Chains A and B, each alone.
Chain A
């Protein structure tokens, strides 16, 4: 049982990571800086609970805010460029964040132990959950309360005019500008929202893995962050969730019985998924079909 609860935790946190990239992708930008924001969230939250002795929720809030501020600050210059330039610029930024934490040491004496981030050796013993009597189920529920809140907020945002504006910018910046939209402000806002969400995810990540170090926040994680929404489709937030379940639940854990083949299949199935569903697992067409199905069901029911 614990195993499933743990897996659901992982799915939850990765969904947050994917959603942070989703916000930015809506405006048509591929950002590989999300792992950097995730790292900021992880380190800030971890330091607050371990070194500062803070309770988790305020620590998460501050972590999210910190990552949001970083995202906003980096968004202004970075979003001057687009396309491949932005991909590389954000990769550079994400790597810079990782390397900052590689060089970052801030330890306090606690009895005979030294606690806190210690450069390349990482930040050990972020044990807020077990020390405060949280069971795996509690942690899972807590993570999912956060995930559902974020998903609901994004779902609602998607339906509001903000969503239409974000997508309009993503489709055609020139036309959006000419329709009176401040494109820079919209893109930076999207990046900031993405940063807030990534920070939240990072804070949770630090606490359920209990140990963080710079290597975890590299290019691979950043790639996964954008892979989730792209693989899932950008038509709504559930695409990202489905993709996380596909990757974490199916490709990683579900295919375990394949033994040595599992890892070969991992990359291969991602390629295959993109060939079969180039617009993502859930695209606008799927939604229309689903709606039709639902409507037919309603009619049949009534």
Chain B
């Protein structure tokens, strides 16, 4: 469904991403891991179109989307969360989803899309909120939520865009064990509903348990790819992690 071909991004002289080839199949959960600064978040940003590519292509469902602006990529079905939470703090929880949701509704009439949508759409937002266990907070300002709730809301907002490909950038960072379990369950549930997921995560247990395949990055290059079991025994991966992140 998503294909990255020789994906390359230089910042000045720094090769943040250096010729990465990667394929994500329909319906799978792909884990993207690597030490800090290995280029994981940059890849997400490139898939979303936040920076122009230095070289290579991003192909989504057979079409090259490398030059599309970010909002059009969302319209095609690519949604994301941010590593450092970026909610609309002065909007309510409900409005955060509202903003994201209707962007896809434009096809069904411009006015309706912009003015607030049908009853069906509103119900959909409430359902999403309930699914992410935020129903009771719907009228709170997003900025006033607790940290874990903010993470959930980011996830919910990305999901509200009804994506077929969801890019999660460290959704478990700062969460406690219970919250991570819930996250695990939600990711699995989404996969059952047919959403393809790319997951960047440092939390090894979560990655190992939930993903189908894992790609490992180091210094902007892909150094390994395979099932979780294969990755765990890959010497290259060990080497990449040993010096930098033994604790992981």
Residues of chain B within 8 A of A177, CB atoms compared: 50, 69-71, 74
Question: Which among B83-91, B127-135, B199-207, B221-229 touches the partner chain?
Answer: B83-91
- Asked if residues B50 and A180 are in contact (CB atoms below 8 Å), the reply is no
A179 is an interface residue with CB less than 8 A from chain B: yes
- Evaluate contact between A183 and B114: CB separation under 8 angstroms: no
8 Å CB interface, A139-168 against B: 160-162, 164-165, 167-168
List residues of chain A with CB within 8 A of the CB of B90.
167, 171, 284
Distance of A172 Cα from B154 Cα, bound (Å): 13
Q: Does B151 contact A (CB under 8 A)?
A: no
B231 close to chain A: CB less than 8 A: no
Complex: A143 Cα to B158 Cα, angstroms? 44
In the complex, the number of residue pairs spanning A and B with C-beta atoms less than 8 Å apart equals: 82
Query: Which residue on chain A has the smallest CB distance to residue B113?
Result: A161
- The CA of A162 and the CA of B117, in the complex, are separated in Å by 11
Of the residues A160, A161, A168, A284, contact of B88 by C-beta under 8 Å: A168
A175 contacts the other chain (CB 8 A): yes
Contact present for B82 and A175 (CB under 8 Å): yes
Q: How many residues of B contact A (CB 8 A)?
A: 34
Query: Smallest distance from the beta carbon of B159 to chain A beta carbons, Å?
Result: 11
Query: Given A162-B114, A175-B86, A179-B161 in contact, is the A168-B71 Cβ separation under 8 Å?
Result: no
* In the complex, chain A residues 24-52 whose Cβ is within 8 Å of any chain B Cβ: none
Q: Which of under 10, 10 to 19, 20 to 34, or 35 or more describes the interface residues of A?
A: 20 to 34
Q: How far is the CA of A171 from the CA of B88 in the complex (A)?
A: 6
- Whether B157 sits at the interface, judged by CB under 8 Å, is yes
Using a CB–CB cutoff of 8 Å, the interface residues on chain B facing chain A are: 48, 50, 69-72, 74-75, 79-80, 82, 86-91, 95-96, 98-100, 102-104, 113-117, 141, 157-158, 161
Contacting pair B161 A161 (CB below 8 A): no
How distant is A28 from chain B, measured CB to nearest CB, in Å? Answer: 11
Q: Which residues of the partner chain B approach A167 to less than 8 Å between Cβ atoms? A: 88, 90-91, 95
Interface SS of A by simple majority? helix
1/0 per residue, CB under 8 A from B, across A170-185: the answer is 0110111111111100
A178 contacts B48, C-beta separation under 8 Å: yes
Identify the 3 closest CB pairs spanning chains A and B, nearest first.
Answer: A180-B74, A180-B103, A175-B86
Task: Provide the residues of chain B in CB contact with A174, threshold 8 Å.
Answer: 50, 86
A161 to B158: give the CA distance in the assembly, Å: 17
Please give the distance in Å from A152's CB to the nearest CB on chain B: 15
Query: With the chains together, A165 CA to B88 CA distance in Å?
Result: 10
Residue pair A175, B87 in contact (C-beta under 8 Å): yes
Q: Are B99 and A165 in contact (CB under 8 A)?
A: yes
Q: In the bound complex, how far is the Cα of B100 from the Cα of A171, in angstroms? A: 14
Chain B residues closer than 8 Å to A176, beta-carbon distance:
88, 99
Looking at A162, A172, A179, A183, the one whose CB has the most chain B CB atoms below 10 A away is A179
